[in-house]
Amino acid sequence: MDIDVFVAAHRGEWDRLGALVRRGGRLSGPEADELVVLYQRAATHLSIVRATAPDPALLGRLSTLVARARSAVTGSHGQSWRGIGLFFARELPAALYRARWWWVGAAAVFLVLSGLLAAWVATDPQVQASIAAPEEIKELTAPGGAFESYYSSAPAASFAAQVWTNNAWLAAGCLVLGVLFGIPVVVIIVVNAVNVGVAAGLMAAAGRFDIFLGLISPHGLLELTALFVAAGAGLRLGWTVIDPGRRTRADALARQGRTVAGVALGLVCVLLISGVIEAFVTPSGLPTWARVGIGVAAELLFLGYVFILGRRATLAGHTGDIEAGDSLPMVG
């Protein structure tokens, strides 16, 4: 083998590998993949040189390069926690902030629809009669009835897991089905607005609207906000199908799809918190003001996370695209 020809053919790859290694953990997703590929090639080149042309200078250079690259690749797992932290500090809040008008709009539609329906149900006995028999409504709305007992119908830990799973599936439906032009997302929002509106109206008609608010507010503020965020992200994905902008439709959908994946991961955590509140706080013996205060505090923390941290991350150039973001850890 001609050493000079071999070096000339592969010097560019070695130089590029050395540059990636020197950058350490500040690599994007594609760059991390490139690091792994170039490391594997350099290791192969080292084996070839050892077997066919053991030039001491070249062996020393390649051995050093391969060792440093191996350390970067295998050591990248130790940086995974840093990457996760940067994702939650940069990419996720940026994605939530950039989609804010979509999910604020979804929230507005939900609240107006459920509010109007609640007022209609509460003030029209004929509408109440069309919903259920008087005995069934009384069983639902009476003190200790189905509406109140629902929150203590199972052991707290089991109930939290059940609520978390159900809400996660609901949010996933908004996120995944949004690609169908957003139509299923609208259906999900309307159905849930109807359910909340009917329950609120029946409780108000029974003179127990304060109980309704006291039970739904602790967990419902954060839970519904998570649903609105999922709906907004799904609607934005659906709009990308219709209008990809200046990018090709495939590229635009890929970018928005990666952002939706990041939002899904974040909502899993948000819904876990709301599920714990619903299981342990909502049915607890705490005063109503304390239970509602916990729900309000959780909601304010989330909104602060979006509108303060998210705005800051957006101004810094982060988009929520989990592949384009430089906060991802390298993968070996």
169 shares a domain with 76: no
Please check whether residues 111 and 177 belong to one and the same domain: yes
Token output for 63: 């051995």
User: Within a domain: residue 300?
Assistant: no
Domain that holds residue 77: 3-84
User: What pLDDT is attached to residue 81?
Assistant: 64
Distance CA 73, CA 21 (A): 9
- The 8-class DSSP code of residue 245 comes to T
Report if residue 191 sits inside a domain: yes
Q: HEC profile for 125-189?
A: HHHHHHHCCHHHHHHHHCCCCHHHHHHHCCCHHHHHHHHHHHHHHHHHHHHHHCCCCCHHHHHHH
pLDDT value of position 329: 36
C-alpha–C-alpha distance, residues 283 and 149, integer Å: 8
Residue 141 CA to residue 208 CA, distance in Å, equals 8
Tokens for 167?
A: 């809400």
How many Å apart are CA 220 and CA 224, to the nearest integer? 6
Domain check: are 255 and 117 in the same one? yes
Q: Which pair of tokens denotes residue 220?
A: 């419902």
Task: Examine the domain organization and report whether 238 and 155 are in the same domain.
Answer: yes
Check residue 252 and give its pLDDT.
84
pTM above 0.75, yes or no: no
* Cα–Cα distance measured from residue 209 to residue 217, given in angstroms and rounded to the nearest whole number: 12
Smallest CA-to-CA distance from 88 within 305, 316, 317 is with 305
pLDDT one digit per residue (tens) for the chain, 332 residues: 677 788 888 889 989 888 888 876 677 777 888 888 888 888 888 888 777 766 777 777 888 888 888 877 766 544 556 667 778 988 899 999 999 999 999 999 999 999 999 999 999 999 999 999 999 999 999 988 888 888 887 787 888 888 888 888 889 889 889 889 999 999 999 999 999 999 999 999 999 999 999 999 999 999 999 999 999 999 999 999 998 888 888 888 888 888 888 899 899 999 999 999 999 999 998 999 999 999 999 999 999 999 999 999 999 888 887 665 444 333 33
Q: Is the separation of the CB atoms in 325 and 87 below 8 Å?
A: yes
What is the pLDDT at residue 200? Answer: 95
> Do 215 and 171 share a structural domain?
yes
Does 14 fall in a domain? Answer: yes
Q: What is the DSSP letter of 329?
A: P
Contacts 24+ apart (CB under 8 A), 271-275: 271/164, 271/167, 271/168, 271/171, 271/223, 271/226, 272/164, 273/222, 273/298, 274/163, 274/167, 274/219, 274/222, 274/223, 274/226, 274/298, 275/160, 275/161, 275/163, 275/164, 275/167, 275/219, 275/223
Are 67 and 194 in the same domain? no
109 and 257 housed in the same domain: yes
Owner of token pair 């299981």: 279
- Structural domain contains residue 327: no
Domain count, the chain: 2
- For residue 326, the model assigns a pLDDT of 40
140 and 8 in one domain?
A: no
For residues 236 and 250, give the distance between their C-alpha atoms in angstroms, rounded to a whole number: 15
**pLDDT confidence of residue 137:** 93
Domain C-terminal end among 59, 84, 109: 84
291 within domain boundaries: no
Task: Say if 52 falls within a structural domain.
Answer: yes
The answer to whether residues 53 and 177 belong to one domain is no
Neighbours of 51 (CB within 10 A): 9
Predicted confidence at residue 332, as pLDDT, reads: 33
Say how many residues make up the chain: 332
CA 263 to chain centre: 2
- Which stretches does DSSP call E strand in the chain? none
b/e 108-134 (16+ beta carbons within 10 angstroms → b): ebbeebbeebbeebbeeeebbeeeeee
Q: 168 and 45 in one domain?
A: no
Question: Phi-psi region for residue 245, left (φ > 0), alpha (ψ -120 to 50) or beta?
Answer: left
Residue type, 230: A
Asked, for residue 324, whether it belongs to a domain, the answer is no
Contact call for residues 294 and 220 (beta carbons, < 8 A): no
137 shares a domain with 15: no
